[in-house]
Amino acid sequence: MRLGLVVNPVAGMGGRVGLKGTDGKVEAARDRGATPRAPDRAAEAMAAFAERLPDATVLAGPGRMGAEAATAAGFEPEIVGDVDPERTRAPATTTAADTRAIVSAFADRGVDLVLFVGGDGTAVDVAVALDDAGDAAAPADADETTAPADADETTAPADAAEATETTEIPMLGVPAGVKVYSSVFAVTPREAGRIAATFERVEDREINDIDEDAYREGAVETELRAVRPVPVADGVQASKQLGGGSVEGLVEGVLADLRPGTAYVFGPGSTIGAIEDALDIDGSPLGVDVWRAPDSFERPPSTDKPPQGELLVRDGSASEIRAATIDGSYDRSFGDPIDGPFDSPTESDSDDVGSDPTPTPGDETDVVVVVSPIGGQGFLFGRGNQQIAPEVIRAAELAVVGSRRKLDGVGVLRVDTDDAELDEDLRGWRKVRVGRVEHRLLPVE
């Protein structure tokens, strides 16, 4: 197995600080206190890869563009590219041109897979470089040297020609960017490492990118940029689906459950936007807002006469959201997921579905995080809402909402918070509000 590893060391830096992307905004992200996340996610992916193929040949970009993660996993990588390693370290000054040059070199030397770490913008750079290189691709002598001698047929990819059935080099993404709309990414870094080491076939997948300036203004304008072969596996995400279904009843249910004096952290998306509209909140369609309910209001509230609360943060960064919710306060808990197992997700006409995953009334927190899964992917955290930091999630009650149509298209919910312990705590069966009183049970993986 010959793996080409390239890391965009600045990918995802704009997420926690509310920039909705890092393209052209690296300095602004640093000014807001952003720190790199891609190198750590690269190391996590390579550790999982090394567990399965410790004898693989690894080609990598210099420094934090790949070599450091490969070395930390126990490999002695062949370093590719003319980038000064110091340019890859904080504050990194690497460019899209650096990424493309490294990937072109991978194609010239022949690799079985390009594993990249970044977001949709990095995916475009990798795809363009492979297209421009003409996929000179698979090693000319691709034989048993493309996999470790002790690897059996169930764990190691076949040689490049057999694995792809074409001369095109496949690519696989380790999710590290703010925008991860494309279907070329694994769902987590560890899944990326596992898939890279074990895939046996590929299929063409779309690479989409969005206009970040329009995205910052609240509009999602996606553009199909390329189609490339990607390893086939359960752990590769689908493209983000846009659109949903009727959410009027859902909105009424959320309003009916509002608690006086409670701070609500509203995530991005059209479903949450409908809730904010009903509350007369001038929120950010694609950002994260914090709204505090008034200390008293007429019960039950309605869309005709919503409570007049206070918008504390609009389109906030992680630090702003924390300051408005948990700084200087007390111990809270978001409650455990519902204990399974259940044969399948079910619906109920009341709130009495299994045990309630939120705290009992005596344990209610005064911070509630309200999120809706991404259509087609099922992510609650880690895709487009990195501003909701792990410490806020831990300290808050979690309310998940979504239309039936959206949930029918996802099947399972996923989390990727950059905090492995929190991800594990969030896993299990979770109630999702789908109507005024109706809920559906879905597993969080």
Q: How confident is the model at residue 12 (pLDDT cuts 50, 70, 90)?
A: low
Mean pLDDT lowest for which of 217-226, 246-255, 417-426? 217-226
Neighbours of 186 (CB within 10 A): 25
| pLDDT at position 167 | 58
Q: Within 10 A of 284 (CB to CB), how many other CB atoms are there?
A: 21
Residue 213 binned pLDDT confidence (cut-offs 50, 70, 90): low
pLDDT of 346 higher than 60: no
Does residue 240 surpass a pLDDT of 80?
no
Give the burial string for 263-273 (b: 16+ CB within 10 Å, else e): bbbbbbbbbbb
> Residue by residue, what is the 3-state secondary structure of the chain?
CEEEEEECCCCCHHHHCCCCCCCCCHHHHHHCCCCCCHHHHHHHHHHHHHHHCCCCEEEEECHHHEHHHHHHCCCCCEECCCCCHHHHCCCCCCCHHHHHHHHHHHHHHCCCEEEEEECHHHHHHHHHHHHHHCCCCCCCCCCHHHCCCCCCCCCCCCCHHHHHCCCCCCEEEEECCCCCCCCCEECCHHHHHHHHHHCCCEEEEEEEEECHHHHHCCCCCEEEEEEEEEECCCCECCCCCCCCCCCHHHHHHHHHCCCCCCEEEECCCHHHHHHHHHCCCCCCCCCCEEEECCCCCCCCCCCCCCCCCEEEECCCCHHHHHHHHCCCCCCCCCCCCECCCCCCCCEECCCCCCCCCCCCHHHCCCEEEEECCCCCCCEEECCCCCCCCHHHHHHCEEEEECCHHHHHCCCCEEECCCCHHHHHHHCEEEEEECCCCCEEEEEEC
Position 317 scores a pLDDT of 87
Separation of alpha carbons 403 and 273, rounded Å: 13
**Residue 76: is its pLDDT beyond 70?**
yes
- Condensed to tens digits (0 to 9), the pLDDT of residues 249-295 reads 889 889 989 999 999 999 988 899 999 999 999 998 788 999 999 99
Q: Which tokens is 325 given?
A: 């919710």
What is the pLDDT, as a whole number, of residue 108?
94
pLDDT of residue 232: 83
Confidence of residue 81 (pLDDT cuts 50, 70, 90): very high
Domain ranges for the chain: 2-231, 248-444
Name the more confident of 237 and 103. Answer: 103
Where is average pLDDT lowest: 38-52, 178-192, 257-271?
178-192
For residue 236, the one-letter residue type is V
Cis status, amide bond into 91, omega within 30 of 0 = yes
Quick one: pLDDT at residue 163?
Answer: 38
